Amino acid sequence: MVARPALFIAAPASGHGKTTVVAALARMHTRLGRKVRVFKCGPDFLDPQIHALASGFPCENIDFRMCGEADARWRLGRAAREADLILVEGVMGLYDSEPSGAELARRLGLPILLVVDAGAMAGSFGAVAWGLKHYKDGAPITHALANRVGSDWHAELCRAALPEDIAWAGHLPRDLDAALPERHLGLLPAAEIADLDARIERMADLLAATPAAEPPPAVEFAAPPAPAFTPLLAGRTIAVARDAAFCFLYPANLECLASLGARIVFFSPLADSALPGCDAVWLPGGYPELHAEEIAANAGMRAALRAHVDAGKPLLAECGGMMACFETLHAADGESHAMFGLLPGATRMQTRLAGLGLLTAELPEGTLAGHTFHYSTCDTPLAPLCHAAAAQGRRSEAVYRKGRLTASYMHCYFPYNPEATARLFV
């Protein structure tokens, strides 16, 4: 066992500011010379980008369903051996998802800092904190922080409302200059927020003057051995798309491919006119709808991907990567743009959410877990290879295959089944 200070940061719901608080805490402790490792609960590509910038280290995801409990405990244990502080950001509200953040914190032995947007409340701040701590099986909430308060007097009203078993962690003012901008899939990618570092610094300065600045208590983490990998991808080179349009990459997925023996090279479907020398291609998700004109104009990349697929080489396309593989993308404004044309059909952006949730796919290569989150729909004459199934009978996602091209709205978590992952790329 390894003991390290650790904290689980949660909120009553999305939008209360827990991502901002986690990033500010990470930066504040980093400035004090501490090595901080940040984790994000649940499937998420955007918050981890911000935490990576704030802490200086990749932010990994943990989720007992998508990633598996053993994977989560191993990653936390590895971080505990290297870091001075571990921060874990919850997903949505404290009792949302399955298992919920409350259950994750209990099972992992993590104390909870509750972040509450108190902008439209005062005495109810204490009721919300007490209710979340004692609801159902309870949650190990030790401190509560009032976010977006209007004045010191407003903060004092919130502090006075807290029950005796929850300590006051201070408050943060309503500060539009420090708020993190959003769009339809959540926060903007870190690379698109020009002054992100300044925003994080500003919030870190404010947090440094609150009780939340004190290091949390030490938590004991198990130190299980690293998972063993068979080098099924030894000698193979995988070209991974990475740019503004294709930016949804779990660090654990890249680590998994490398552990399987693959050599990873990155390329930009927006800027490059040719693929690097490779045996397989991975087009992850992102925002092809925001860069549709650039994709349409890149005839060289379209030809290179076509030659790759026609040569019978593997290509995995996930969500935005799949959208770019179809013939046409219809934008929300009514404009239509040519895509890479590797699959027949088109996708159409809409303002309403089209898919959300955790998925499991039974592929010929093996079972893979992942998630879906998208605002587009797909129209294709292709018959699905299979469907990635959601829990509790919710909407499933089709998985398409044409030759060695596998495409779906599902974002896969490779460490869930490394052997099945390897088979997709050989």
Say whether 319 is catalytic: yes
136, 32 contact by CB (below 8 A): no
Strands 36-41 and 85-89, sheet pairing: parallel
Other CB atoms within 10 A of residue 199 CB: 21
Residue of 319, 325, 378, 412 marked catalytic: 319
**DSSP label at 169?**
E
Q: How far apart are CA 343 and CA 322, in angstroms?
A: 9
Q: How far apart are CA 204 and CA 303, in angstroms?
A: 48
User: What HEC string does 19-60 produce?
Assistant: HHHHHHHHHHHHHCCCCEEEEEECCCCHHHHHHHHHHCCCCE
Beta bridge partners of residue 390, listed in sequence order: 359
Angle (CA) 395-397-398 rounded to 5° is 135
Q: What is the dihedral of CA 213, 214, 219, 224, to 10 degrees?
A: 50
Q: Is the dihedral of CA 407, 412, 417, 421 positive or negative?
A: positive
Contacts of 377-381 with CB under 8 Å at 24 or more apart are 377/347, 377/348, 377/350, 378/322, 378/323, 378/326, 378/345, 378/346, 378/347, 378/409, 379/345, 379/346, 379/347, 379/348, 380/326, 380/343, 380/344, 380/345, 380/346, 381/344, 381/345
87, 37 contact by CB (below 8 A): yes
Q: Omega before 99 cis (within 30°)?
A: yes
Amino acid, res. 326: F
Cβ within 8 Å of residue 215, ≥6 positions away: 5, 29, 85
Q: Which helix (H) or strand (E) holds 337?
A: strand 336-338
Strands 411-412 and 405-408, sheet pairing: unpaired
Cβ within 8 Å of residue 349, ≥6 positions away: 289, 329, 330, 331, 332, 375, 376
Active site residues per annotation:
319
